[in-house]
Amino acid sequence: MKATIDFDEHLYRRLKVEAARRGRTVRELVAEGVRYVLDGEPPAAGVPDAAAASEWRPSWIGMLRPWAANAPDHSMDAIRTSIARGRASEEAP
């Protein structure tokens, strides 16, 4: 069966790049994503999957690796606090 899906231009470019990176077609990747959503267990409403949340890392975290290693979590507040501690120790005589 065929369906027409309207993607945001940026999202579609990302999809094409990822499909090419995996050596797959956009159609195959979209079908795999739909199967993943439909076959997986639905999350509880408003409650993120704890395992997925603990494994997820923001893309910018690599740039902050020296400070992020000392952060208790990867929230912006924790990163900011860790950076402030790092700067304070660098500036100390």
pLDDT in tens, the chain (93 residues): 888 999 989 999 999 998 998 899 999 999 998 888 888 766 555 555 555 555 666 666 566 666 666 666 767 787 778 777 776 666 666
CA–centroid distance for 21 within its chain: 17
| Predicted local distance difference test score (pLDDT) of residue 64 | 62
| Predicted local distance difference test score (pLDDT) of residue 1 | 86
Calpha distance 22→92 (Å, rounded)? 48
Q: For the whole model, what pTM was predicted? A: 0.44
CA–centroid distance for 54 within its chain: 11
79, 67 Cβ separation under 8 angstroms: yes
